[in-house]
């Protein structure tokens, strides 16, 4: 048995990008910065930033798009997906997080939200096993 699940929290490096598939399915893509603390030889610590690509599908993704702006802090739950392709005779691949749930955690976005506007509730994305998601 294998397990493919991940949970991360961090800040968006830039605002989410929304696009639609040929069949009309909403897809948003964004990058989350997750810091990792590393110990140096002199005993001090420094932070190293990992940039993780995330993709979310469906109507919930479309609804969250306006809230996923550069700098906002999020908690993401999802699973890893590897894509491979060829271009000009070269082979490329990438691993990304397919997002199942997003929780907005405040931070810079909270400061920008208009007064009296409630933040969105945590959202669970459509299942990646739905027939309309292209994999």
Give the pLDDT confidence of 25-67 residue by residue, as tens digits. 999 999 999 999 988 899 899 999 999 999 999 999 999 999 9
Predicted local confidence at residue 4, as pLDDT: 94
Mean pLDDT of 16-24: 95
3-state secondary structure of 128: coil
- Residue pLDDT, tens place only, 69-117: 999 999 999 999 999 999 999 999 999 999 999 999 975 544 455 455 5
**Quick check: pTM over 0.85?**
no
Element (H, E) at 67: none
Q: Is the pLDDT of residue 128 over 50?
A: no
Task: Collapse the DSSP code of 101 into the 3-class scheme (helix H, G, I; strand E, B; otherwise coil) and give the result.
Answer: strand
Q: Decide if 106 contacts 12 (C-beta within 8 A).
A: no
**C-alpha angle 16-72-121 in degrees, rounded to nearest 5:** 85
């Amino acid at each position: 048995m294998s397990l493919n699940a991940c949970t991360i929290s961090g800040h968006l490096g830039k605002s989410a990008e929304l696009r639609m598939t040929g069949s009309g399915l909403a897809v948003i893509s964004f990058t989350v910065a997750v810091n990792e603390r590393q110990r140096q030889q002199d005993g001090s610590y420094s932070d190293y930033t990992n940039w993780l690509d995330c993709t979310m599908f469906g109507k919930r993704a479309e609804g969250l798009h306006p809230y996923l702006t550069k700098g906002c802090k999020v908690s993401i739950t999802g699973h890893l997906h590897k894509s491979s392709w060829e271009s000009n005779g070269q082979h490329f691949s990438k691993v990304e997080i397919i997002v199942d749930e997003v929780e907005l955690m405040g931070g810079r976005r909270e400061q920008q939200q208009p007064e009296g506007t409630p933040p969105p509730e945590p959202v669970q994305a459509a299942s990646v096993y739905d027939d309309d998601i292209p994999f």
